[in-house]
Amino acid sequence: MERKPLIAGNWKMHKTLADAREFAGAFAAGPDEWPGVDVVVCPPFTALAALQEAFEGSAVMLGAQDMFYEKQGAYTGEISGSMLQDLSCRFVIVGHSERREFIREMDEFIGLKVHAALIQGLTPILCVGENLKQREQGKALGFVRGQVEKALVDLSSAEMGGVVIAYEPIWAIGTGKTATSEEAERMCQAIRMTVAGMAGGVAQEMRILYGGSVNKENIAELMREPNIDGALVGGASLKAAEFRGIIEQAR
Protein backbone atom coordinates (compact mmCIF):
# COMPACT_ATOMS: atom_id res chain seq x y z
CA MET A 1 0.00 0.00 0.00
CA GLU A 2 1.33 3.42 -0.95
CA ARG A 3 1.55 5.84 1.97
CA LYS A 4 1.88 9.59 1.44
CA PRO A 5 5.21 10.84 2.84
CA LEU A 6 5.08 13.25 5.78
CA ILE A 7 7.81 15.71 6.71
CA ALA A 8 7.21 17.46 10.04
CA GLY A 9 9.40 20.13 11.60
CA ASN A 10 9.61 20.34 15.39
CA TRP A 11 10.94 23.73 16.46
CA LYS A 12 11.03 22.78 20.14
CA MET A 13 11.69 25.84 22.36
CA HIS A 14 13.10 28.03 19.60
CA LYS A 15 12.05 31.22 17.82
CA THR A 16 10.36 34.35 19.10
CA LEU A 17 7.27 35.68 17.34
CA ALA A 18 9.45 37.88 15.15
CA ASP A 19 11.68 34.91 14.29
CA ALA A 20 8.63 32.83 13.35
CA ARG A 21 7.33 35.53 11.01
CA GLU A 22 10.75 35.84 9.39
CA PHE A 23 10.82 32.08 8.82
CA ALA A 24 7.32 32.14 7.33
CA GLY A 25 8.35 34.83 4.87
CA ALA A 26 11.35 32.79 3.72
CA PHE A 27 9.40 29.54 3.66
CA ALA A 28 6.37 30.84 1.77
CA ALA A 29 4.78 28.04 -0.26
CA GLY A 30 1.99 27.85 -2.80
CA PRO A 31 -0.97 25.50 -2.35
CA ASP A 32 0.56 22.93 -4.72
CA GLU A 33 4.21 23.46 -3.80
CA TRP A 34 5.04 19.86 -2.85
CA PRO A 35 2.66 17.42 -4.56
CA GLY A 36 2.75 14.00 -3.01
CA VAL A 37 4.24 15.14 0.33
CA ASP A 38 2.53 16.40 3.48
CA VAL A 39 4.49 19.20 5.17
CA VAL A 40 3.88 20.19 8.80
CA VAL A 41 5.51 22.83 11.00
CA CYS A 42 5.20 22.47 14.79
CA PRO A 43 6.24 25.76 16.44
CA PRO A 44 5.92 26.82 20.07
CA PHE A 45 2.36 27.69 21.14
CA THR A 46 3.22 31.39 21.06
CA ALA A 47 3.85 31.33 17.30
CA LEU A 48 0.83 29.31 16.20
CA ALA A 49 -1.49 32.26 15.56
CA ALA A 50 1.09 34.11 13.47
CA LEU A 51 1.86 31.03 11.39
CA GLN A 52 -1.83 30.26 10.98
CA GLU A 53 -2.14 33.58 9.21
CA ALA A 54 1.12 33.26 7.28
CA PHE A 55 0.45 29.73 5.98
CA GLU A 56 -3.24 30.19 5.14
CA GLY A 57 -3.94 28.75 1.71
CA SER A 58 -0.45 27.26 1.42
CA ALA A 59 0.83 23.69 1.29
CA VAL A 60 2.10 23.95 4.87
CA MET A 61 0.01 22.49 7.69
CA LEU A 62 0.34 23.38 11.35
CA GLY A 63 0.99 21.10 14.29
CA ALA A 64 1.52 21.65 18.01
CA GLN A 65 4.27 20.22 20.20
CA ASP A 66 1.97 18.90 22.93
CA MET A 67 -1.58 18.95 24.31
CA PHE A 68 -3.49 17.92 27.42
CA TYR A 69 -5.94 15.03 27.40
CA GLU A 70 -8.98 16.90 28.80
CA LYS A 71 -11.13 19.21 26.67
CA GLN A 72 -11.23 21.95 29.31
CA GLY A 73 -10.99 22.49 33.04
CA ALA A 74 -8.75 23.58 35.91
CA TYR A 75 -5.46 22.54 34.31
CA THR A 76 -3.22 25.58 34.63
CA GLY A 77 -0.73 25.98 31.82
CA GLU A 78 -2.22 23.27 29.62
CA ILE A 79 -3.67 23.44 26.08
CA SER A 80 -6.58 21.39 24.76
CA GLY A 81 -7.15 19.91 21.34
CA SER A 82 -10.07 22.24 20.64
CA MET A 83 -7.81 25.23 21.38
CA LEU A 84 -5.31 23.88 18.87
CA GLN A 85 -8.06 23.42 16.30
CA ASP A 86 -8.95 27.10 16.74
CA LEU A 87 -5.44 27.81 15.46
CA SER A 88 -5.86 25.50 12.44
CA CYS A 89 -3.65 22.77 13.88
CA ARG A 90 -4.12 19.41 12.24
CA PHE A 91 -1.32 17.52 13.97
CA VAL A 92 0.08 17.33 17.50
CA ILE A 93 3.29 15.74 18.79
CA VAL A 94 2.82 13.55 21.87
CA GLY A 95 5.30 11.60 23.94
CA HIS A 96 8.47 13.28 22.71
CA SER A 97 11.53 11.91 24.51
CA GLU A 98 12.31 15.34 25.96
CA ARG A 99 8.91 15.45 27.66
CA ARG A 100 9.33 11.88 28.83
CA GLU A 101 12.70 12.83 30.35
CA PHE A 102 12.22 16.36 31.70
CA ILE A 103 8.47 16.36 32.45
CA ARG A 104 8.47 12.69 33.51
CA GLU A 105 5.59 11.75 31.20
CA MET A 106 4.72 8.07 31.39
CA ASP A 107 3.39 5.76 28.67
CA GLU A 108 -0.12 5.59 30.12
CA PHE A 109 -0.35 9.38 30.34
CA ILE A 110 0.85 9.67 26.74
CA GLY A 111 -1.79 7.12 25.73
CA LEU A 112 -4.49 9.40 27.14
CA LYS A 113 -3.16 12.23 24.98
CA VAL A 114 -3.14 10.06 21.85
CA HIS A 115 -6.77 9.11 22.45
CA ALA A 116 -7.79 12.71 23.22
CA ALA A 117 -6.10 14.01 20.07
CA LEU A 118 -8.06 11.57 17.91
CA ILE A 119 -11.36 12.38 19.62
CA GLN A 120 -10.72 16.11 19.19
CA GLY A 121 -9.96 15.82 15.49
CA LEU A 122 -6.16 15.98 15.52
CA THR A 123 -3.61 13.56 14.12
CA PRO A 124 -1.22 12.55 16.92
CA ILE A 125 2.45 12.05 16.07
CA LEU A 126 3.43 9.54 18.75
CA CYS A 127 7.16 9.59 19.50
CA VAL A 128 8.96 6.44 20.63
CA GLY A 129 12.63 5.54 20.92
CA GLU A 130 15.38 4.05 23.05
CA ASN A 131 18.46 5.56 24.70
CA LEU A 132 22.03 4.53 23.99
CA LYS A 133 22.29 2.22 27.02
CA GLN A 134 19.17 0.31 26.02
CA ARG A 135 20.49 -0.12 22.48
CA GLU A 136 23.91 -1.30 23.65
CA GLN A 137 22.29 -3.81 25.99
CA GLY A 138 20.14 -5.23 23.18
CA LYS A 139 16.92 -3.98 24.78
CA ALA A 140 15.94 -1.40 22.16
CA LEU A 141 13.41 -3.50 20.27
CA GLY A 142 11.49 -4.67 23.31
CA PHE A 143 11.52 -1.20 24.86
CA VAL A 144 10.14 0.53 21.76
CA ARG A 145 7.52 -2.14 21.20
CA GLY A 146 6.41 -1.63 24.78
CA GLN A 147 6.06 2.12 24.25
CA VAL A 148 3.89 1.52 21.19
CA GLU A 149 1.68 -1.07 22.87
CA LYS A 150 1.09 1.01 26.01
CA ALA A 151 0.24 4.17 24.06
CA LEU A 152 -2.18 2.44 21.67
CA VAL A 153 -3.68 -0.25 23.92
CA ASP A 154 -7.11 1.39 24.37
CA LEU A 155 -7.61 2.35 20.72
CA SER A 156 -9.79 0.58 18.19
CA SER A 157 -8.25 -0.61 14.95
CA ALA A 158 -9.84 2.32 13.11
CA GLU A 159 -8.41 4.79 15.63
CA MET A 160 -4.93 3.31 15.28
CA GLY A 161 -5.13 4.05 11.57
CA GLY A 162 -5.31 7.76 12.45
CA VAL A 163 -2.02 7.77 14.38
CA VAL A 164 1.42 8.64 13.01
CA ILE A 165 4.37 7.08 14.85
CA ALA A 166 7.79 8.73 14.90
CA TYR A 167 10.74 6.54 15.78
CA GLU A 168 13.39 8.76 17.35
CA PRO A 169 16.37 6.98 18.91
CA ILE A 170 17.23 9.26 21.83
CA TRP A 171 20.95 8.87 21.21
CA ALA A 172 20.52 10.46 17.76
CA ILE A 173 18.41 13.50 18.71
CA GLY A 174 20.41 16.69 18.33
CA THR A 175 23.71 14.84 18.52
CA GLY A 176 24.61 14.78 14.85
CA LYS A 177 24.49 10.98 15.03
CA THR A 178 21.95 9.27 12.81
CA ALA A 179 20.84 5.67 12.85
CA THR A 180 21.87 4.02 9.62
CA SER A 181 19.03 3.58 7.16
CA GLU A 182 19.18 -0.17 7.87
CA GLU A 183 18.93 0.35 11.64
CA ALA A 184 16.04 2.79 11.24
CA GLU A 185 14.26 0.45 8.83
CA ARG A 186 14.56 -2.53 11.19
CA MET A 187 12.95 -0.60 14.01
CA CYS A 188 10.24 0.96 11.84
CA GLN A 189 9.43 -2.50 10.47
CA ALA A 190 9.22 -3.83 14.05
CA ILE A 191 6.87 -0.99 14.96
CA ARG A 192 4.64 -1.80 12.00
CA MET A 193 4.62 -5.48 12.98
CA THR A 194 3.70 -4.51 16.55
CA VAL A 195 0.74 -2.48 15.28
CA ALA A 196 -0.23 -5.33 12.97
CA GLY A 197 -0.38 -7.63 15.97
CA MET A 198 -2.78 -5.19 17.64
CA ALA A 199 -4.85 -4.00 14.69
CA GLY A 200 -4.20 -6.21 11.68
CA GLY A 201 -4.12 -4.60 8.23
CA VAL A 202 -4.38 -1.07 9.61
CA ALA A 203 -0.63 -1.26 10.17
CA GLN A 204 -0.06 -1.04 6.42
CA GLU A 205 -1.91 2.30 6.33
CA MET A 206 -0.05 3.86 9.26
CA ARG A 207 2.72 6.34 8.50
CA ILE A 208 5.94 5.75 10.44
CA LEU A 209 8.53 8.51 10.52
CA TYR A 210 12.19 8.59 11.48
CA GLY A 211 13.65 11.38 13.59
CA GLY A 212 17.15 12.04 14.87
CA SER A 213 19.59 14.47 13.22
CA VAL A 214 17.72 14.32 9.90
CA ASN A 215 19.10 16.65 7.23
CA LYS A 216 18.98 17.12 3.46
CA GLU A 217 22.03 14.87 3.05
CA ASN A 218 20.52 11.78 4.67
CA ILE A 219 16.76 12.07 4.13
CA ALA A 220 16.71 10.49 0.63
CA GLU A 221 18.52 7.36 1.83
CA LEU A 222 16.16 7.01 4.77
CA MET A 223 13.10 7.50 2.56
CA ARG A 224 14.17 4.67 0.25
CA GLU A 225 13.44 2.17 3.03
CA PRO A 226 10.01 0.52 2.66
CA ASN A 227 8.81 1.17 6.22
CA ILE A 228 9.99 4.78 6.59
CA ASP A 229 7.30 7.19 5.42
CA GLY A 230 8.90 10.51 6.28
CA ALA A 231 10.70 12.35 9.06
CA LEU A 232 10.23 14.33 12.23
CA VAL A 233 12.91 16.98 11.82
CA GLY A 234 14.39 18.95 14.71
CA GLY A 235 17.21 21.46 14.33
CA ALA A 236 17.23 21.39 10.53
CA SER A 237 13.61 22.58 10.46
CA LEU A 238 14.62 25.92 12.02
CA LYS A 239 16.25 27.13 8.80
CA ALA A 240 13.88 27.69 5.90
CA ALA A 241 16.40 26.75 3.20
CA GLU A 242 17.53 23.58 5.00
CA PHE A 243 13.95 22.46 5.67
CA ARG A 244 13.01 23.12 2.05
CA GLY A 245 15.98 21.00 1.00
CA ILE A 246 14.79 18.09 3.13
CA ILE A 247 11.31 18.26 1.64
CA GLU A 248 12.64 18.37 -1.90
CA GLN A 249 14.93 15.38 -1.26
CA ALA A 250 12.05 13.48 0.34
CA ARG A 251 10.03 13.89 -2.85
**Whole-angstrom distance, CA of residue 103 vs CA of residue 112:** 16
Nearest CA among 1, 62, 54, 65 for reference residue 29: 54
115 is catalytic: no
Catalytic residue among 96, 98, 115, 130: 96
Q: How many degrees, rounded to 5, is the angle at CA 94 between CA 98 and CA 203? A: 120
Q: Do residues 86 and 121 lie in contact, with contact meaning Cβ atoms separated by under 8 Å?
A: no
**Whole-angstrom distance, CA of residue 35 vs CA of residue 57:** 15
Q: Do residues 57 and 32 lie in contact, with contact meaning Cβ atoms separated by under 8 Å?
A: no
Nearest CA among 104, 115, 102, 103 for reference residue 69: 115
Catalytic residue among 108, 168, 225, 248: 168
96 is catalytic: yes
Q: Which residues are catalytic?
A: 96, 168
